[in-house]
Chains A and B, each alone.
Chain A
């Protein structure tokens, strides 16, 4: 299951420019709609952190693809796909939550309706609706296998 990365492949992830975010949460809505067929921002795999009243900035929190979740998963329910995304195998995931505290940006979630954790799967629907340019697709060519 473990993905082998080769030269010429491209890894994609979401790039964030905090200062541009206006906190509308369209990204969170479309994320839950696409993945769970429901309007429910709590089922999204990203969050907008609001720092108010001071300094007055919105910081989108997205998956940085650090891979810590895959390392700690006791069930081997998380693997890395060839576009860089960490994918949860919902049938293997026991919703134990071990991955949640190790996630630095804090974008792994549990929801009472679901029996598995929620992790970003690089569908990039969110970036397509973002009207301020706060989240965009970042593409990086693979230099060497690892």
Chain B
């Protein structure tokens, strides 16, 4: 048997390297040093991409790698330890890209005996990756090619067996739409940074995994004791019952009350018809069952159906907060069934609902302003709140028909082609569309988007309540909180566990690090974890600079709407930021990180993080940061505890 049934210390033990061009499959023992120093998941992905992908490689070409990593904690009986990370050079941002999802795929990969699968090349014909314990094969996928994500999964389960865990892409990924997602478990997505497009470019339709091995951990007795205690303690936590009932969707109304919900492509931050798309509406009108990821007792997933007159009834998971905001208020949808239907539509064609919502909203605003017309849309309109129009437009994009071709690259590329001032309201940073929060009256949130390593995404740092506690008119002092959050939140993506139980159920980072030690036997502390996270952050930054060859600062600006337009309506009417305030935040942020004013990491900070090789590399292209006059801060991103509000 190639895999022993158990391996040591939280790892399954084997890494697969697959060359899709030749079909060659090789097994290697998992590099424990890489796992220890880079924490697996996002960290290991960042290091491998940095080391192995040529700087001029096309994200959708054969030299790009497509990596799937289950981290060190996934599947290890840790609360919410269900994630799997996907990584590659992002076709949206042209920098390091990673995205993760819950469900059952990550743990199952480890139960099959593998920590990581690294795929290169392009398959000559559509294939899917078949893993059944020791059997690893690339199998013909021509019968599934062209199928929607949500249709492909049951078809494959029927052919292979119910106990296979399956991840698929839809037609969007096959056609290289740059914001395509990977779908698993009938509605769990790794949506951001276009991982589905990379999978499609490699002609990899799906991944099917079954595993029967176990995972050995360092100290199972203590881990079981600790995890059982956490579960018992949190069962009576006040957030538990509402959380189980609504998931993140309850938050839509709060977001509206506090003027952060993006409405009609971020034109305003207040949506009049919010009741129709609220969490309450979701539970009352659409809910079928609660749905949890592997080993998670919080079950925030909501399995629903959407019933719309004249449309087939569809079954889906969601909409959760982000989809509710970006395919709801951001498109002017007034009924939760409309949002759910669009959620299903995008899931099935294999588009990220967040970027997809952003792209459709951008197109709708272009239509509103006359920049695109019914002539461009095959005779159709593209009006706010219209499911029919959205459905037709999505079809044009997925099949790259006519003007759909422009939008297939995301809002940034579409704005470059449409021009005529549309760049101002292409709501993206570095090519990736913004998440479901408007940052104009939440400056920390805007800074989070601007400085996020994979383009505008809330997952790295989310500061709405910090902005409220510290004063929403003030921009000073926000940078250090953003840096702290950018260190702690990506740690969950490294370890491949969910971050929501930390935020919602008052579980301290120290407790999670303790679990990590019980699983791995590493004996690290929270400070070391944060420093490793900072190392990953800086490496990703250097990688971005090396690929895009310009000062970092030039990439860190949001679209001009963020400072040119004040919020027109709602509780924050008249509020907004100035260009100077945005510059101030960036200055502060770079100083906090030990980067120079051009947004380039200095040698001192890279040396402190043992990244001298990266410093040498960016020095060669003239992008090493100048030494800071007063040296680098000793603590970058000090621990933030919100002051009482």
Mark A residues whose CB is within 8 Å of B.
19, 22-26, 29-30, 32-33, 36-43, 49-50, 52-58, 111-113, 129, 131-132
Contacts and interface: CB of A to CB of B under 8 A. Distances in A.
Contacts of B294: 24-25
Given A25-B104, A38-B215, A41-B111, 7 more contacts: A22-B291, A38-B214, A42-B111, A53-B153, A53-B186, A56-B305, A113-B5
B228 A129 contact: yes
Given A22-B299, A131-B235, A112 B212 contact: yes
Contacts of A112: 5, 212
Nearest to B133: A112
B386 interface: no
Contact of A22 (B150, B240, B289): B289
B154 interface: yes
B111 A40 contact: yes
Interface string B5-37: 110000000000000000000000000000000
6 contacts: A22-B299, A25-B294, A26-B297, A33-B77, A39-B215, A55-B288
B315 A25 contact: no
A53 to B, nearest CB: 5
Contacts of A131: 231, 235, 240, 244, 297-299
Interface of B: 5-6, 75-77, 104, 111, 150, 153-154, 162, 185-186, 211-217, 220, 224, 228, 231, 235, 240, 244, 288-299, 301, 303, 305, 315
A40 B215 contact: yes
B228 to A, nearest CB: 7
A3 to B, nearest CB: 31
A120 B603 CA distance: 60
A36 B162 CA distance: 25
A108 to B, nearest CB: 16
A50 B315 CA distance: 14
Contact of A132 (B212, B217, B244): B244
Contacts of B215: 38-40
Contacts of A52: 154, 185-186, 303, 315
B289 A24 contact: no
A56 B340 CA distance: 15
Contact of A129 (B150, B231, B305): B231
A2 B41 CA distance: 53
A118 to B, nearest CB: 12
A25 B295 contact: yes
A53 B297 CA distance: 22
A25 B295 CA distance: 6
Contacts of A54: 315
Nearest to B297: A131
Q: Which of B211, B220, B297 has the most CB of A within 10 A?
A: B297
A24 B186 contact: no
Contacts of A113: 5, 214
A39 B299 contact: no
Contact of B303 (A29, A33, A56, A111): A56
Given A23-B292, A53-B150, A36 B228 contact: no
Contacts of A42: 111, 211-212
Contacts of B305: 56
A43 B315 contact: no
A20 to B, nearest CB: 8
B619 to A, nearest CB: 46
A56 B288 contact: yes
A32 B162 CA distance: 21
B315 A56 contact: yes
Contacts of A37: 220
Given A24-B296, A56-B289, A38 B6 contact: yes
A91 to B, nearest CB: 22
Contacts of A19: 289
Contacts of B212: 40, 42, 111-112
B76 A23 contact: no
Contacts of B289: 19, 22, 56-58
Contacts of A58: 289
A55 B289 CA distance: 10
Contacts of A30: 77, 224, 228
A76 to B, nearest CB: 29
A22 B220 contact: no
Contacts of B301: 22
Contacts of B153: 53
Q: Which 4 A-B pairs have the closest CB atoms?
A: A40-B214, A24-B292, A22-B299, A38-B214
B167 to A, nearest CB: 14
A40 B213 contact: yes
B297 A38 contact: no
A56 B315 CA distance: 8
Nearest to A130: B297
B299 A24 contact: yes
B315 A33 contact: no
Given A39-B217, A40-B111, A29 B295 contact: yes
Nearest to A38: B214
A24 B292 CA distance: 5
B211 to A, nearest CB: 8
B291 A33 contact: no
B295 A24 contact: yes
Contacts of B76: 39
B71 to A, nearest CB: 14
A50 B294 CA distance: 13
A38 B290 CA distance: 28
A111 to B, nearest CB: 7
Contacts of B217: 39
Contact of A39 (B185, B214, B231, B297): B214
Contacts of A29: 77, 295
Given A33-B220, A38-B6, A26 B290 contact: no
A56 B286 CA distance: 12
Contacts of A33: 77, 220, 224
B254 to A, nearest CB: 24
B290 A132 contact: yes
